[in-house]
Structure formats: C-alpha cells, structure tokens
Amino acid sequence: MSSTEFTEINSLSLSQEQLQRVVVLTGAGISAESGVPTFRGETGLWRQFRPEDLATPEAFADQPVVVWEWYLHRRNLIAQVLPNPGHHALVELERMLGDSFTLVTQNVDGLHRRAGSQNPIELHGNIFVNRCGRCQDHWADDALDFSKLPPHCPTCAGEVRPGVVWFGESLPAAAIDQAYSKSQRATLFISIGTSTVVHPAAGLPLLAMESGAYLIEINPEETPISRLSDCVIREKSATTLPLLVKKLQSLKNGN
Ligand code: APR
C-alpha cells in the first residue's frame, strides 16, 4: 500500500519511464470550474433531482418527455459554457505524449472534445448524441423533429434518446475494454475530479495501481482512492492541472 502524500506538484518525484503510458481519468469535477454542475457535491445535480427519475431506462419508458426536457435543459446549459484551463492542459499533455497518452472520461458534456482532445474514451456517452433506442442509429439534431418529444427515428420510427449511459445500463463494450486494457498497462494514472464511486470507471485507478502505475489524484475532497494514491493534490483542477502538465513537460524534456 503506497503511503499517501499530500505533496506539492514541484516536489513530485517521477521518472521519464513513467511517461511511457499515461492514462487520465476525468469526472464531473474537471468541468465544475466551467460552470457545469457535478452530481454529488453540495450543488450537485443529484441534490436537485433523483437519478432514478431521470437517468434510467425505466424513467425514459415511463416519462420520455420529462427525461428529454431535462437533457435538453442540460444541453442548453453546457452549450453556453467553455472548456477551462484543466481541459486545455490535457490537450497539451496529449500533444506532448502522442500515442503514450489515453484520456478516459465519465463526463458526457463533450468539453474535452471542444477543448481539442482528439479521441477521449467517453465511458458514459455524450449528451449531444441522439441515438435510436430501437435500431441504435445515431442522428444529428437537424435530422430529427424536436417539436414533439420524444423525437422518432427516421429509419425505424423508434423513440430516439440521448446518447448517454443510464444507471442499470452497460457501458459501450469497446470503450470499457479499451479503458481496462490501457489502465492495466499504465505507468502513470492521473484521476481528476471524480468521487470514484460509480463502477466500472471507479475501478480503473486501482487496476492501474495494482499493475504498478504511479497514481496521482487531483480532487479538493477525499475519495476512496485518496489513501491508496502515491500523490494527492487536494486542489481544484483548473489551477493545478496546468502546473502538473508543465512539470511533466519538463520531465519529458529531461530538465
Ligand atoms: N476540481 C477537481 N475536482 C473537483 C472540483 C474541481 N474544481 N470540484 C469538485 N470536484 C470533485 C468533487 O470533490 C467530487 O469528488 O469532483 C468530484 C465529482 O464527483 P461526482 O459529482 O460524483 O461526479 P463523478 O465522479 O464524475 O460521477 C461519476 O456518476 O452520476 C453518475 O454518470 C454520472 O459520470 C457520472 C458518474
């Protein structure tokens, strides 16, 4: 069990070898400073709404209009915010490390893509995707009629739903398989802004650590992996992630 160190970034001791396979896992916390509410914090979404009422297949079957209205409301909110320096720092890291870098996100807000991340593994889908619940076809907004909810699939007339993973649903197989295999081989795993309570994503940091990865957590609050992390940065990500990435850049340059 590695000891937990509340350490400043500049005292972080990492080797160049540990930059060989870097995996980053993000949760709602990385988007908090963009103005996107988290789920479980004081002002989290699950404080105002019950997930079982809005984020389950049963809820959509019972009240598709209410569920769509909630997702359209969230889409509208997210469309008005911007990626923050934490998202941009991960784009820098991806540019620096190329194929040695993997970004896995639980977020459905699409802010990593808007910041410029090339291929984030979106474990829980993307709120801006429309997917037919029957034939699984994906549709752009302008191909659907949102004047009467739920929209219907132009191919099979099935009910179209938001392209996110709801509670009780399995994650996209390709996404979770890739996340597992990358985490298993990681040399450095950075967990950012997640309460680390929703599996299977919550198991990725431990899988990486058990495979020998150096585990860094960035979160202003304690989580179940804090005590197991090699380094805990008890700060918000928009300020600290750019500093951490600068540190990794100078490590890569051999400084
Ligand atoms: N910087 C970094 N972390 C932050 C910040 C910040 N500025 N603000 C809050 N946090 C941390 C909180 O301390 C908390 O640990 O972000 C975490 C957010 O936790 P949750 O709201 O539980 O979000 P997340 O971990 O992404 O939830 C996982 O649960 O409801 C489902 O599908 C949903 O993907 C989501 C999953």
DSSP per residue, 44-100: -HHHHS-HHHHSSHHHHHH-HHHHHHHHHHHHHHHHT----HHHHHHHHHHHHHGGG
- Whether 196 contacts 223, CB under 8 Å: yes
- 182 and 140 in a common domain: no
- 245 and 147 in a common domain: no
Question: Whose CA is closest to atom 3 on ligand 1?
Answer: 193
- 235 and 182 in a common domain: yes
Cα(172)–Cα(165) distance, rounded to whole angstroms? Answer: 8
Measure Cα distances from 158 to 10, 68, 133, 134 in Å.
55, 15, 6, 5
**Nearest-atom index, ligand 1, CA of 195:** 15
- 148 and 56 in a common domain: yes
> pLDDT per residue over 94-123, tens digit each?
999 999 999 999 999 999 999 999 999 999
pLDDT value at 166 more than 90: yes
Domain harbouring 54, CATH code: 3.30.1600.10
Q: What is the mean pLDDT of the chain?
A: 94
The structure's pTM equals 0.95
pLDDT value at 198 more than 80: yes
Q: Which residue has the higher pLDDT, 9 or 107?
A: 107
The pLDDT score that the predictor gives to residue 43 is: 86
CA 28 to ligand 1 centroid distance, Å:
4
Question: Whose CA is closest to atom 23 on ligand 1?
Answer: 28
Smallest CA-to-CA distance from 251 within 8, 18, 53 is with 18
Residue with tokens 């893509």: 113
Which one of 105, 139, 164 terminates a domain? 164
Which one of 164, 183, 215 terminates a domain? 164
- 232 and 206 in a common domain: yes
Per the structure, how many domains does the chain have? 2
Averaged pLDDT for residues 118-141: 97
Residue numbers of the domain that contains 237: 3-35+83-124+171-252
Domain harbouring 92, CATH code: 3.40.50.1220
Smallest CA-to-CA distance from 213 within 228, 201, 223 is with 228
- 240 and 201 in a common domain: yes
Least confident of 8-22, 35-49, 97-111: 8-22
- 136 and 98 in a common domain: no
Averaged pLDDT for residues 173-196: 98
- 247 and 216 in a common domain: yes
- 141 and 16 in a common domain: no
- 117 and 11 in a common domain: yes
Is 124 assigned a catalytic role?
Answer: yes
Query: Among 88, 112, 124, 152, which one carries the catalytic annotation?
Result: 124
- 117 and 177 in a common domain: yes
